[in-house]
Amino acid sequence: MGLAFKEETFRDDYTYRNSLDAIRRFPFPFPEDKYMYSVNIEPHVKGKPGSVLEFPLDIDEHYVSECRDKAITLARDPGRYASLPHMMDAQWDVLELIMESLSRDYPEQFKLTKDGNRWTWQNLPLGIENTFTFGDRSSLPMEPFEYVGRQIQGDWVILDQREGTLFADAGIVTSQADWSLAFDVGMSWHQWHAPVPRATEIGVMDRALKFMMNLQLGEPVRRLNWTMTLNPRLDTSPENYPLWGPDRNHITLDNAGDRVHLRVELQTLFRLPRSNGIVFSIRCYLISLNELATYPRWAKRFHRILKDLHPDLLEYKGLTKFHATAVEWLSRYDDGAPLDIGT
């Protein structure tokens, strides 16, 4: 598969853009005109060729630049990677999952050669090659989860399953929507989800946990989540709030199309073979309102979603300050007629 990687930035001059092909494959997350949290979990099965669901782990035109942005964030704040000492088996599980998936599904870009426990990994787009002993931490330049986590798009959290719940005991998190790994590491399911409004009351969190606890090896699942980001910025962490929070005060009808982005998270969950942990991957896709409106039906539906979004969700997702402007910008695409597109 031919993949052309773009040179672009996710900070400062923000040169990130989507090609027409990337817009076409954007995982638009709204199957109906309204939105509320739900247990929207489904089997992570193969999707259409070319779609973001074609392979278990999606690599796209932003891969190289996104990995570079991740490296910048980690250099400035090493706390974006954390792993508790008992997570080493799970770390190797995740390294295996990522290396096997990428080398199988993107053979022109990634190669994995095994000679017993001696593995050679070649990442051609990033120019990385290492031979190491699987299971031996000292044979890699850093912990295995950090090593592989720097070479894959999105954020990754490893969960340990014990005491009837899940604990977020390791993570590499550089593109999160305003939550902190340093704060959440070591927390249990209900603890780290505590800030989410309404979901606990409507039973979403209890049902989702039950589902997760029964996740089977070889039967990964996925769900979509979404929020909005101003400018194509990956690092919207609480630690760096002063760098991006004030952007909310500068959105106008003139600049909204370019600056306001829908941010969709394709979240996938895989049971791990040795540790019995679960790895949770949050793959982020960003699209500006201008790009979204390439498909007027998307803009029309997004107008309806945003216009009627529950005030608690507006507040939690941090949309309050620019909500009215975004709704007005999108309204020009909404003629009020029914929309039966699915997505």
Catalytic residue IDs: 223
CB 263 within 8 A of CB 227: yes
Please, what is the minimum distance in Å from the beta carbon of residue 222 to ligand HEM? 9
- The one segment of 117-125, 147-155, 221-229, 246-254 that binds ligand HEM by CB under 6 A: 221-229
- The one segment of 43-51, 79-87, 95-103, 220-228 that binds ligand HEM by CB under 6 A: 220-228
Looking at residue 280, the DSSP 8-state letter turns out to be E
Please, what is the minimum distance in Å from the beta carbon of residue 238 to ligand HEM? 8
Judged by CB under 6 A, does residue 246 bind ligand HEM?
Answer: no
Please, what is the minimum distance in Å from the beta carbon of residue 180 to ligand HEM? 7
Nearer to ligand HEM, 39 or 128 (CB): 39
- Which residues, 6+ apart, have CB-to-CB distance to 16 below 8 Å? 8, 9, 10, 62, 65, 232, 286
Nearer to ligand HEM, 137 or 310 (CB): 310
Looking at residue 337, the DSSP 8-state letter turns out to be -
* Whole-number Å distance between alpha carbons of 277 and 167: 9
Nearer to ligand HEM, 179 or 295 (CB): 179
Please, what is the minimum distance in Å from the beta carbon of residue 204 to ligand HEM? 5
Q: Figure out which of the listed residues 39, 52, 88, 128 binds ligand HEM, where binding follows CB under 6 A.
A: 39
Nearer to ligand HEM, 64 or 212 (CB): 212
Three-state secondary-structure class, residue 263: strand
Judged by CB under 6 A, does residue 208 bind ligand HEM?
Answer: yes
Quick note: the x/- pattern for ligand HEM over 175-204, rule CB under 6 A, is --x-x----x-------xx-xx--x----x
Three-state secondary-structure class, residue 203: coil
Nearer to ligand HEM, 208 or 305 (CB): 208
Residues linked to residue 105 through DSSP beta bridges, in sequence order: none
Stretch 260-289 residues interacting with ligand HEM (CB under 6 A)? 269, 280
- Which residues, 6+ apart, have CB-to-CB distance to 18 below 8 Å? 26, 286, 287, 288, 291
Judged by CB under 6 A, does residue 309 bind ligand HEM?
Answer: no
Please, what is the minimum distance in Å from the beta carbon of residue 250 to ligand HEM? 22
User: Hey, how many other C-beta atoms are within 10 angstroms of the C-beta on 129?
Assistant: 11
Q: How many residues bind ligand HEM (CB under 6 A)?
A: 25
Residue among 83, 57, 77, 237 nearest 158 (CA): 83
Nearer to ligand HEM, 51 or 225 (CB): 225
* Whole-number Å distance between alpha carbons of 235 and 176: 6
User: Starting at the edge strand that comes first in sequence, how are the strands of the sheet with 155-162 ordered?
Assistant: 42-43, 221-230, 260-271, 278-288, 155-162, 165-172, 81-83
Quick note: the x/- pattern for ligand HEM over 134-173, rule CB under 6 A, is -----------------------x-x------x-x-----
DSSP string, 140-192: SSS-HHHHHHTTSSSEEEEEEEETTEEEEEEEE-SS-BS--HHHHTT-BHHHH
Nearer to ligand HEM, 263 or 333 (CB): 263
Buried/exposed code over 89-115 (b: 16+ C-beta within 10 A; e: otherwise): ebbbbbbbbbbebbbebbeebbbbeee
User: Which spans of this chain sit near ligand HEM (rule: CB under 6 A)?
Assistant: 37, 39, 41, 157, 159, 166, 168, 177, 179, 184, 192-193, 195-196, 199, 204, 208, 212, 223, 225, 227, 269, 280, 316-317
